[in-house]
């Protein structure tokens, strides 16, 4: 759906999308996630740069998947390292390798890997990532995964507007907790986060190519958070927590 007519209008540019994937799910139909096609979709939807993780790293082979995203690095791609929570000892070694290679963030895939929030690996890997100075981008239900991720700088990528109150009450006590805007499409979701914990906790995420990138962008364009707030959500906040130059 790269030809959406809304994109040509007054929607804000996205300077950094925090949630983009390459690769494919072998067990389901859908986009193949070829890097060139993903890049084309982002460009057509006003996304200048993306934090990109590999489904190969999540589902098949961590090392080669992460090497795959390193090869894509450039002005439009910030590589994100995938970790396998099913293998906590391997994951801690991969955290060290990624930090040494200059990665700024790691991606957790608990749902795809069948990992529950109370598995010891989740807390262990999050601690190791935080100690290495890496931001944690994670899937999973914020109501279950907030506890093992306390103390880390985290972006919850699957926060649903039905669960927004739960995110707000834990984020009040956890200054490192942030949320993607991908599923916050109710009339007041972005405004609620901004009012209770600050607009700096919101990051634009689309999960291209598996979701439509224009939907969160359209919601952001209509948000009552002012132009500076929109610019922050559309990339400024992501650059800040990732330690990127403006």
Domains of the chain as residue ranges with CATH: 17-242 (3.20.20.140)
At 130, list the tokens: 């935080």
Residue 77 neighbours by CB distance under 10 Å: 21
Q: pLDDT tens digits for 98-155?
A: 999 999 999 999 999 999 999 999 999 999 999 999 999 999 999 999 999 999 999 9
pLDDT of residue 221: 96
Residue 7 has pLDDT above 90, yes or no: no
pLDDT of residue 246: 64
Residue 185 neighbours by CB distance under 10 Å: 14
Residue 182 has pLDDT above 80, yes or no: yes
Nearest to 208 by CA among 189, 182, 184: 182
pTM (predicted TM-score)? 0.94
Q: pLDDT tens digits for 68-92?
A: 999 999 999 999 999 999 999 999 9
Beta strands in 75-201 (DSSP E): 77-79, 81-82, 105-108, 135-138, 154-156, 177-180
CA distance 197 to 25: 35
As beta bridge partners, residue 20 has 52, 208
């Amino acid at each position: 759906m790269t030809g959406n007519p809304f994109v040509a209008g007054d929607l804000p540019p996205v300077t950094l999308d925090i949630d983009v994937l390459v690769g494919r799910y072998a067990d389901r139909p859908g986009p193949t996630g070829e890097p060139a096609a993903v890049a084309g979709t982002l460009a057509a939807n006003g996304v200048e740069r993306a934090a990109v993780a590999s489904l190969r790293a999540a589902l098949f082979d961590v090392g080669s998947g992460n090497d795959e995203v390193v090869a894509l690095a450039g002005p439009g791609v910030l590589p994100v390292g995938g970790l396998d929570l099913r293998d906590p000892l391997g994951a801690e070694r991969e955290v060290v390798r990624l930090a040494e290679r200059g990665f700024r963030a790691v991606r957790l895939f608990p749902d795809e890997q069948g990992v529950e929030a109370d598995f010891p690996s989740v807390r262990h890997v999050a601690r190791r990532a935080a100690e290495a100075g890496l931001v944690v981008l994670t899937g999973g239900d914020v109501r279950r995964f907030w506890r093992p991720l306390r103390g880390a700088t985290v972006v919850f990528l699957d926060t649903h507007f039905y669960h927004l109150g739960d995110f707000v009450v834990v984020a009040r006590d956890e200054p490192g907790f942030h949320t993607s805007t991908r599923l916050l499409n109710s009339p007041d979701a972005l405004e609620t986060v901004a009012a209770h914990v600050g607009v700096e906790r919101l990051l634009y995420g689309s999960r291209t190519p598996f979701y439509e990138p224009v939907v969160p962008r359209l919601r952001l364009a209509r948000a009552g958070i002012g132009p500076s707030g929109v610019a922050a959500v559309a990339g400024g906040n992501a650059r800040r927590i990732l330690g990127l130059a403006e």
